Amino acid sequence: MPSILDTERGVDARPLRPDIRDLLKDISIPPRPSSLVDLKLELERDEPRMAQLVAIVNSDVAMSAALLKLANSPWLGMSRRIATVPEAFQILGYKRCEHILTEIALRKVLPTNGPALFRFWDVSSKRSQAMGLLARRVGLDADTAQTMGLFADVGIPLLALRFAQPSYIDTLDEANRSEQPFTNVEQDRHGTDHTVIGALLARSWGLDPDVASAVRLHHDYEYLDEKQPGRVHELIALCLVVEHIIQRFQGLNAHAEWSKGGQQSLKTLSVSQADLDNWADELHERFAAEH
């Protein structure tokens, strides 16, 4: 499993502090599972072979079962139940199935056990699906936005595993309530933050460089004002808008981030408060349908 220092080079963001390089050597970035590597190679063929795709998914019973479960979730709104892996690829399409399988793989490699992180996957899944749904309304590619939503906070469970004393979970609670930038609280206590770790994982898994940059900068709201909005700006802004909508749904994932970057995010996306309220109503109906 490569360490953070093995994958530091090439990440388009602020460099890691020299005085914490030794500390970070024992934070490991989970490698991209071989099943995803094989899947990506097959999908890059001019004509992907269904038999090979099915074989890759069926090589892991848990993966095939999870694919069918997620393929039949209320989010996708299928008119009939998808019962087999070939049907999933044929009906949902290659890109959507690849995203579902990536989420399943992340769930397997990230340590998210314990009550402090029980909401991690609930929020990550909601954020990913919601960003994919809203993406085209703000001119973004749905697959790119959905991937950003899934990977935005992947650094959190890795830091929770690494830092027991002082507890990273306590840091997370403080950062969620603090008026300081979220990552400043993490940096002050641990010398690094979840955006550094998340961007490195995104890079090592071969994600779009704009996704890795957006993961790295998604708490840096001053960045939204630096220049003419581009795709990274829009991914960051949409991520915060969706986080805010999730927070409004039964008080999940409460934090102070909206007060820090909410208005910049709406401006970046050219979205009004009325648009936001309408999106919240629509998404809350979908969230409720999951339960």
Render pLDDT for 28-66 as a digit per residue (tens, 0 to 9).
789 999 999 999 999 999 999 999 999 999 988 888 888
Which domain-ending residue is among 66, 89, 109? 109
- CA-nearest of 254, 250, 288, 243 to 153 is 243
* Residues spanned by the domain of 76: 30-109
Q: Which two tokens stand for residue 178?
A: 């603090």
Question: What is the arithmetic mean of pLDDT over 182-189?
Answer: 94
What's the number of domains the chain is made of? Answer: 2
Question: What is the arithmetic mean of pLDDT over 108-120?
Answer: 77
Residue 14 domain-assigned (yes or no) = no
Residue 196 domain-assigned (yes or no) = yes
Question: What is the arithmetic mean of pLDDT over 218-233?
Answer: 91
Arithmetic mean of pLDDT over the chain: 86
Q: Are residues 60 and 201 both part of a single domain?
A: no
Query: What global pTM score does this model have?
Result: 0.87
The predicted structure's pLDDT at residue 129: 92
On the question of pLDDT at 141 being above 60, the answer is yes
Residue 81 domain-assigned (yes or no) = yes
Q: Are residues 83 and 157 both part of a single domain?
A: no
> Would you call 199 exposed, middle or buried from its count of C-beta atoms within 10 A (0-12, 13-18, 19+)?
buried
The predicted structure's pLDDT at residue 133: 93
